[in-house]
Chain A
Amino acid sequence: MATFIAIVLAAVLTNNFITVKTYGICPFLGVSKKTSSAVGMGVAVTLVMVLATAVTYPIYEYVMVPLGFDFLEIIVFIFIIASLVQMIEKIIQKLSPSLYKAMGIYLPLITTNCAVLGVCEMVIGDMSNIIGDATMNMGWAVLYALFAGLGFTLVMIIMSGMREKLNCVKVSKSLAGFPISMITASFICMAFTVFTYI
């Protein structure tokens, strides 16, 4: 139970992917103009993160390490993620066209999202600062991916809310666009920094 709480708190607040680790900034800046698209992107990223971890972790742990192929992790992981994204896209397209319409455009972008490869790399690495003495297993890995994705979605929603308000303000020409969104993002980061002192 303690491990569970530690993972949830770390993934959502203290080690949030966007505000602390700065993974997945491209969708964070690119798709956060409207709350609806931010939610769509967040859900899509969470889904892919969970599935990618659920596939890559056992492959790494039970196939690549015993066979001594662990140095190929980057190539194998990126291939698994790319094919997984393609597969999810096709399945959603077939099962639920309305969901595909809402989420489909975000899926291809996710292949080159740092957050997905980042979480796959993290769970096979040293996680002792988060889970303490507990040994890493597939359950914790998937749980970490799930809550990291939810933390990502949370920050996306906060950011999109702030940017919607920002539309009503006049911004000087050289600051308009990326610079002002980054300064906005920095305030969110400052708010999240407080959690690292817990």
Chain B
Amino acid sequence: MKNKYAKITLDGLIFNNPTFMLVLGTCPTLGLISSASSALGMGLTVVVILTLSNMLISALRKVIPNEVRIPSYIVIIATLVTLARMILNKLVPDLYDSLGGFLALIVVNCIILGRAEAFANKHNVLESAVDGLANGFGFTFALTVMGIICEFLGKGSLFGVQIMSFKISALATPAGAFIIYGLSIAVFTYIIDTFMRSRRIRGNKVARENLLDSKTVDAQPVKEA
């Protein structure tokens, strides 16, 4: 039982990381990683919205007719985004300004609709909440790491605090964001591949099967749900 949640968590955070492994939700990623704090803010906003939307959709999965499920999901997500927009505008206006148009564009973020379609409409509320948190934090982790690299090299600062005067300004533009994102994907996939291979060489068959199994957790229907 505990193992199942561990699988979902590892899946969202690492093996099916929405940003590095599936390359979903690229627009906010590329647009916001030039500043680490707005990347982190975007990530946390997505965590909240994704968890809530996963829970709501999972709770309503037996009520929503199959034919109109996509519009229903979009309405749920759009409502949550509208709420998030109002709350952020009131409580953290700085973050609201730095996110700009990307806050409204969370509606069309593939990660949220993707998780609803691939996971939440087949699993119970608790599992969907865990999945939402895992994927959200996977996204946040990726964005923050790239944000730190991009901001440090591009602006010489970290989370807005100036650290060094040397900077490569080109890395703080979309061009730099593309390069950093591309190289990050390459490094991340390389590390995962090496990790999986080392498991295989050591002959630890059980662990490898567990890993491979967790990669396809979405494809397997859960019987008790």
Residues on the B chain within 8 Å of A181, using CB? 182
User: What B residues does A175 contact at CB under 8 A?
Assistant: 182, 186
Q: Find residues 9-49 in chain A having any chain B CB closer than 8 Å to their own CB.
A: 19-26, 29
Contacts of B182 in A (CB 8 A): 175, 178-183, 185-186
**Contact among A75, A78, A183 with B179 in the assembled complex (CB-CB below 8 Å):** A183
Per DSSP, chain A at the interface is helix
- Distance of B25 from chain A, by nearest CB (Å): 9
Q: Interface digits, B89-114 against A, CB 8 Å rule (1 contact, 0 not)? A: 00000000000010011011010010
Interface string of B66-89 (1 = CB under 8 A from A): 000001001100110110011000
For the complex formed, measure the closest distance between the CB of A80 and the CB atoms of chain B, giving whole angstroms: 12
Give the shortest distance, in Å, between B173 (CB) and chain A (any CB): 6
Provide the bound-state CA to CA distance between A2 and B71, in Å: 41
Question: Is B82's CB under 8 angstroms from A24's CB?
Answer: no
How would you classify the secondary structure of chain B's contact residues: helix, strand, loop or mixed?
helix
Q: Which residues of A contact B139 (CB under 8 A)?
A: none
Residue contact B178 to A112, C-beta cutoff 8 Å: no
User: Taking the complex as formed, is A114 at the interface, i.e. its CB lies under 8 A from any CB of chain B?
Assistant: yes
Bound Cα distance A111, B183 (Å): 29
Of B71, B107, B178, B190, the residue contacting A183 (CB under 8 A) is B178
CB distance from B50 to the nearest CB of A (A): 15
Of the residues A121, A174, A185, A193, contact of B193 by C-beta under 8 Å: A174
Cβ-closest chain A residue relative to B105 = A114
A71 interfacial by beta-carbon distance below 8 Å: yes
Contact A190/B175 with A22-B27, A25-B30, A112-B108 known, Cβ cut-off 8 Å? yes
Report, as a range, how many residues of chain A touch the other chain.
Answer: 35 or more
- Is A82 interfacial (CB-CB < 8 Å)? yes
Q: Say yes or no for B31: interface residue by CB 8 A criterion.
A: yes
B26 interfacial by beta-carbon distance below 8 Å? yes
In the bound complex, what is the Cα–Cα distance between A64 and B31 (angstroms)?
29
| Distance of A130 from chain B, by nearest CB (Å) | 14
Say whether B107 contacts A193, CB under 8 Å. Answer: no
Return A81 CB to nearest CB of chain B, in Å. 9
Q: Given the complex, which residues of B lie within 8 Å of A179, measured CB to CB?
A: 182-183, 185-186, 189
A23-B105, A174-B190, A175-B182 provided; 9 other pairs, C-beta below 8 A?
A25-B26, A25-B30, A29-B23, A74-B81, A78-B107, A121-B105, A122-B101, A182-B185, A183-B179
Residues on B close to A: CB < 8 A? 23-24, 26-27, 30-31, 71, 74-75, 78-79, 81-82, 85-86, 101, 104-105, 107-108, 110, 113, 170, 173-179, 181-183, 185-187, 189-190, 193
Task: Rank and list the top 7 A-B pairs by shortest CB-CB distance, nearest first.
Answer: A182-B182, A186-B178, A189-B175, A179-B186, A22-B30, A25-B26, A179-B182
